[in-house]
Amino acid sequence: MILVNEPKLGERELEYVSECLRTGWISSAGRFIEEFEERWAAYCGRRYGVAVSNGTVALQVAVACLGMEPGDEVIMPTFTIISCALAVIYNGGVPVLVDSDPGTWTIDVNQIADRITPRTKAIMPVHIYGHPVDMDPLLDLADKHGLAIIEDAAEAHGAEYLSGRYSPDSRWRRCGNFGTLSCFSFYANKLITTGEGGMVLTDDPKLAGEARSLRNLCFLPERRFYHEELGYNFRMTNLQAALGLAQLERMDEIVAHKRWIAQEYTRRLKDIEVLQLPVEELWARSVYWMYGVVLAEETGLDADWLAEHLGGRGIDTRPFFLGMHEQPVLRKRGLFNNERYPVAERIARQGLYLPSGLALNMEQLIQVCDAVHEVLKK
């Protein structure tokens, strides 16, 4: 079976993790934590990084830092992982949904303004499958209405967005550079992995302090076992940070390999008319975290059908996200009654992603493409 993802770990990881074992620094203190935080923040052009135990809690901490009142609203795409909605709900807020752009599958920024109310606290853009959200209009809206941005860059390590594309001083900025607070996941299928892991980035020293405190049970610095706020144990270990730092050292290579995978897939699959392939807007440099494909609507075929036929040929796939408005657990809470998001609904049913991990080689990629041709061109 060619798996959807296999991580690629190297000698440097072994060296750094061995150092942790040799020196005994295996818990949430140690040199790798601070170095990983500093260097990942710097890579994304941010001042502060707060490493946490996964991407879901990174979002939860980031939303908590906004000081939500019960009923405060956060606007997000319906087409995303449930972590985004959970982060808001756990903080007493209400997720408010927006449909996707049919080309990039990221939040349709033209539909955000209509969803802003007096209760809106923040917007949560999610860079889906490694393609950046069109951030300029979103940042303008946030600015105009005094809203925070919780940027979910969990799938977009190293992706770039051309900021100010209509102005003479346009510049490329990395995903993770845009949020009041920006969040990453370092799960095993991400461009950088610490097994499990996440990080919150910000430029605001107060928010960074708040995130650090929440991550560590809200111990008071001056009086350790005394607590004025409810915190969490969301700490990352030095062992995990050692893995992350090792991979960060070869980030350019990692991004280049992801882009190579996408380029080869596109070159070999573009003749299949019934398949929509990932796009890259002129203002975007995608990292193609996962190479998603969507069956054309008129085929009437769904992704389960394609997954089954590819699976029979030894090719592992994953379905696309099911929109938040279609999640039973959220609907049971009375959310999203009668809400419809046609783009998200269609791509959820007709989209899946192909093996895209960093360990994928040319031979496997050709095997995947041959199987897709076989299934769809008969």
Ligand X SMILES: Cc1ncc(COP(=O)(O)O)c(C=O)c1O
Q: Name the residues that contact ligand X, by CB under 6 A.
A: 54-56, 80-81, 83, 126, 152, 154-155, 185, 187, 198
Decide whether 37 or 309 has the Cβ nearer to ligand X: 37
Decide whether 195 or 209 has the Cβ nearer to ligand X: 195
CB of 152 to ligand X, least distance (A): 5
Nearest one of 114, 123, 116, 118 to 88, comparing CA atoms: 123
**Non-local CB neighbours of 92 within 8 Å, separated by 6+ positions:** 68, 69, 70, 71, 72
Residue with structure tokens 């899946």?
352
Tell me the residue number closest to ligand X, measured at CB: 55
Q: Please give the Cα distance from 349 to 111 (Å, whole number).
A: 22
Q: Please give the Cα distance from 109 to 115 (Å, whole number).
A: 11
CB of 185 to ligand X, least distance (A): 3
Decide whether 84 or 372 has the Cβ nearer to ligand X: 84
3-state secondary structure 75-134: EEECCCCHHHHHHHHCCCCEEEEECECCCCCCECHHHCHHHCCCCEEEECCECHHHCCCC
Q: Which two tokens stand for residue 228?
A: 């004025």
CB of 36 to ligand X, least distance (A): 15
CB of 187 to ligand X, least distance (A): 4
Decide whether 80 or 100 has the Cβ nearer to ligand X: 80
Which 3 state secondary structure label does DSSP give 244? helix
Decide whether 106 or 120 has the Cβ nearer to ligand X: 106
CB of 153 to ligand X, least distance (A): 8
Decide whether 91 or 272 has the Cβ nearer to ligand X: 91
CB of 375 to ligand X, least distance (A): 27
Decide whether 136 or 155 has the Cβ nearer to ligand X: 155
Decide whether 94 or 154 has the Cβ nearer to ligand X: 154
Asked if 100 and 106 touch (Cβ cutoff 8 Å), the reply is: yes
CB of 81 to ligand X, least distance (A): 4
CB of 341 to ligand X, least distance (A): 17
* CA pseudo-torsion sign 190, 236, 124, 255: negative
Contacts 24+ apart (CB under 8 A), 268-274: 268/365, 268/366, 268/369, 269/293, 269/369, 269/372, 269/373, 272/372, 272/373, 272/376, 272/377, 274/298, 274/299, 274/301, 274/376
CB of 89 to ligand X, least distance (A): 14
Strands 181-185 and 198-202: antiparallel
Diameter of the chain by CA atoms? 70
Dihedral of the alpha carbons of 16, 17, 19, 25, in degrees to the nearest 10: 120
CB of 92 to ligand X, least distance (A): 20
* CA pseudo-torsion sign 294, 103, 197, 31: positive
Residue with structure tokens 């897709």?
372
Decide whether 126 or 376 has the Cβ nearer to ligand X: 126
Q: What does the DSSP assignment read for 363-378?
A: HHHHHHHHHHHHHH--
Decide whether 8 or 268 has the Cβ nearer to ligand X: 8
